Structure 1
Amino acid sequence: MSQSIILKKVKENFIHRNGNTQEVIDAYVQKLIQDGWHKVPIEGAVISQDGLAIFYCSRCPYDGQMQRYKFSRIKEEDECLEQQYQQLFQRYADDFTTWK
């Protein structure tokens, strides 16, 4: 089973059953939009400017999760995209944790 990357506050709210998770997610969406991300309602998410990452804000059961969004069938190109995604993610890594 793979691990998900989820917003720390969302995981905490789920575990402790306190607070309004959607308010936490909405506040984070606003942060990402200020950083240049684009809201894509049909995806239930916001997507980074370069299309590398997606943060789900209204797509159950993925709410609060960030994932890589852009892939390539060419191995070398996909490895490069993974490196770029990891660099982008490092900008936000302190806000996230893993979830099994």
Structure 2
Amino acid sequence: MKLLILLALCGTVYLMPMEMGSSAQNVTATSPKTICAPQTPCSWSVYNPHTREILKEIGNTYCVCPADLICQITEDDIPVSSYIHRCRSKDFESDIADR
């Protein structure tokens, strides 16, 4: 429930393909133009709470990261089984992905 509220507050979303190298076929027709604020998620990774296997990648269609930043995991929202991604520099180190 918290994830749905979070997604509603952050704008519309699209499903990102899980396979490497595949094209984003579920992307909405309009491309985002707004730069994500530092506190705004650029995407979410929903995972199985027992195995932590990522089940779905959800991208924010309202905003994108600026060219000098990348969308990285910054937070683990355990109650909704989701990693939250935010725009960070390429040298940003998060211990969440190592868990």
TM-score of the aligned structures, taking structure 2 as reference length: 0.27
TM-score of the superposed pair, with normalisation by structure 1: 0.27
Q: Larger strand proportion, structure 1 or 2?
A: 2
